[in-house]
Amino acid sequence: MALLEVTNLDVRFGLRQGEVRALRDVNFTLERSERLGIVGESGAGKSVAAFSLLNLIAKPGFIAGGSINFEGKTLNTMSERGLRKVRGNRISMIFQDPMMTLNPVLSIGEQMVECLKAHRRISGKEARAICLDKLRQVQIPSPETRLDQYPHELSGGMRQRVIIAIALLLDPDIIIADEPTTALDVTIQAEIMALLLELCEQHNVGLILITHDLGVVSQVTQRMLVMYAGRVIEQGPTREIINDPQHPYTQGLINALPQMATPGEKLNQIRGSMPSLSNLPSGCAFHPRCNFINRADGKPRPACTEQVPGFVESGNCRVACHMVAEMIEDRRLKEETS
Partner 1 sequence: MIAFLVKRLFHALLVMFVISIIAFAIQDNLGDPIQQMVGQSVPESERAELREELGLNDPFLVQYARFAVNAAQFDFGYSYVFNQPTTEVIARHLPATLELVAAATFLIITLSVPIGVYSAIKPRAWLSRFFMGVSIVGISIPVFLTAIMLIQLFAIGVSWTPFPVDTAWGSWLNGVISTEGGMPAYGRGDPVPVFGTWETNFASLEGLTYLVLPAVSLASIMLPLFIRLIRAEMLEVMQSDYVKFARAKGISMRRIYFLHALKNTMLPVITVGGVQIGTLVAYTILTETVFQWPGMGLMFLDAIERSDIPLIVTYLMIVGLIFVITNTIVDLIYGLVNPTIKLTGKPA
Q: Which residues bind partner 1 (CB under 8 A)?
A: 54, 56, 58, 80, 84-89, 92-93, 95, 97, 100-107, 114-115, 118-119, 150, 152, 163, 166
Helix (H) or strand (E) holding 185: none
151 vs 248, which CB is nearer to partner 1? 151
CB of 338 to partner 1, least distance (A): 56
165 vs 224, which CB is nearer to partner 1? 165
166 vs 323, which CB is nearer to partner 1? 166
Which residues does residue 69 pair with via DSSP β-bridges, in sequence order? Answer: 5, 74
98 vs 252, which CB is nearer to partner 1? 98
How far from the centroid of its chain's Cα atoms is residue 272's Cα?
A: 23
CB of 82 to partner 1, least distance (A): 11
106 vs 260, which CB is nearer to partner 1? 106
84 vs 203, which CB is nearer to partner 1? 84
How much of the chain is helix, strand and coil, in % rounded to 5?
40, 25, 35
Q: Tell me whether the omega of the peptide bond preceding residue 60 falls within 30 degrees of 0, making it cis.
A: yes
How far from the centroid of its chain's Cα atoms is residue 188's Cα?
A: 20
Strand positions, DSSP E, the chain: 4-15, 18-30, 35-39, 61-70, 73-74, 91-94, 174-178, 206-211, 223-228, 231-237, 312-314, 317-319
CB of 92 to partner 1, least distance (A): 7
| Rounded CA separation 214/224 (Å) | 10
CB of 227 to partner 1, least distance (A): 21
CB of 191 to partner 1, least distance (A): 21
Q: What is the DSSP letter of 96?
A: S
CB of 335 to partner 1, least distance (A): 50
115 vs 208, which CB is nearer to partner 1? 115
Q: Which of 47, 30, 322, 315 is nearest to 174 (CA)?
A: 30
CB of 88 to partner 1, least distance (A): 4
| Rounded CA separation 21/25 (Å) | 11
| Rounded CA separation 90/83 (Å) | 10
